[in-house]
Copies of this chain bind each other. A is one copy, B any other.
Amino acid sequence: MSVFVQKYGGTSVGTTEKIKAVADKVAGFRDAGHDMVVVVSAMSGETNRLISLASDMQQDPDPREMDVLVSTGEQVTIALLCMALKAKGYDARSYTGTQVRILTDDAHTKARIQDIDVANMRADLDAGRVVVVAGFQGVDEDGNITTLGRGGSDTTGVALAAALKADECQIYTDVDGVYTTDPRVVDGARRLNQITFEEMLEMASLGSKVLQIRAVEFAGKYNVPLRVLSTFTDGPGTLITLDEGQDSMEQPVVSGIAFNRDEAKISILGVPDMPGVASKVLAPIGDANVEIDVIVQNIAADNTNDLTFTVHRNDMGKAQAVLQEVAKDLGAREIVADDKIAKVSIVGVGMRSHAGVASTMFKALAAENINIRMITTSEIKISVIIDEKYLELAVRALHSAFGLEK
């Protein structure tokens, strides 16, 4: 008898038939004797429908009213799922964010959870009821409805699991787990049985869009075992935990290969060398609300600086415009931009204790004649920027070089 919090996203509850399938799944866990708390999103398409109504009314819709509006999406799903469970003979009760009392701050459309009242849920579980909770929403101190921002249902699931000290928070989605890399790129990509929160954060922020980063952070902070698994197929999924696993001695050095083609590279060349150059170049970019990812600085032979950084591809034009001004002030020689690049990263907590990981990576890329344009490293990750056209080749080469096919 365990306590499970399960979260089903919009595509998992996209039709009344799919909601019935979720009820079947939940019923199976009840039959096995588990206490079940189920968090659901709005039916797929519903949130967008509501947002489009709002934009008909007001150019920049009022955030408080936006939350009143979009929170109805999950409210519909919780009622329908409870009906489906009752139709199958299982007792169930639905809760909006207000009803649970998921207390948040008052930052409408991007509220943060502050406290969760578990009394009602606990009483229902003790009475043998399935508890069904609307994801993505809460209530502030004054009774105003708030929402956690898009994808916030994952966060709701993790937060409920933490508050209830659940045995596991299970995130049901349309993939059956976290993979060593994207199976569409590498045939031999393999589902991982286990991965650490840190690795998952690096994988997620690098483009493996399985889980909301915020939910993973939250799970890590409160040490909630998190499992990603498929709504539509059976299987153990991937467990995300604090530890490296009982078999950590045999853990591979690298757990996965992440990649991202949303970036563009900008270089400002021939900047006279003096203290504070990097800040003089990058501060105006930040002021223009452009996020910077990788940064590399070199001193050239003529004692001038070359500074290169990457931004989101959509922001390249904006960043270039800002840099023109800066370049004039600093007396820089030239600005060069390139949006035909990609980032490839190897991720793994095993790196910490293994030397030679970087050289294995660089050797594998060199063997394929792939030129590395930039390099950046963290404790559990090494990323390289390469020409976009080599992306698939690089991912396959690295997947093989680190033996991830198993």
Contacts and interface: CB of A to CB of B under 8 A. Distances in A.
A75 B54 CA distance: 13
B84 A58 contact: yes
Contacts of A360: none
Interface string A56-77: 1111011011101101100110
A104 B267 CA distance: 66
Contacts of A79: 54, 65-66, 68-69
A71 B75 CA distance: 9
Which interface class (under 10, 10 to 19, 20 to 34, 35 or more) fits A?
35 or more
B76 A57 contact: no
Contacts of A145: 96, 99
A86 B65 contact: yes
B86 A75 contact: no
Contact of A84 (B16, B57, B71, B94): B57
Nearest to A84: B57
Given A68-B94, A99-B143, A143-B99, A80 B62 contact: no
A83 B72 CA distance: 16
A82 interface: yes
A83 B96 contact: no
A365 interface: no
A79 B96 CA distance: 17
Interface of A: 16, 19-20, 50, 53-54, 56-59, 61-62, 64-66, 68-69, 71-72, 75-76, 78-80, 82-84, 86-87, 93-94, 96, 98-99, 143-145
29 contacts: A16-B57, A19-B57, A50-B76, A53-B76, A54-B79, A54-B80, A54-B83, A56-B80, A57-B80, A57-B83, A58-B87, A59-B87, A62-B86, A65-B78, A65-B80, A65-B82, A65-B83, A65-B94, A66-B79, A68-B94, A68-B96, A69-B75, A69-B83, A72-B72, A72-B75, A72-B76, A98-B143, A99-B144, A99-B145
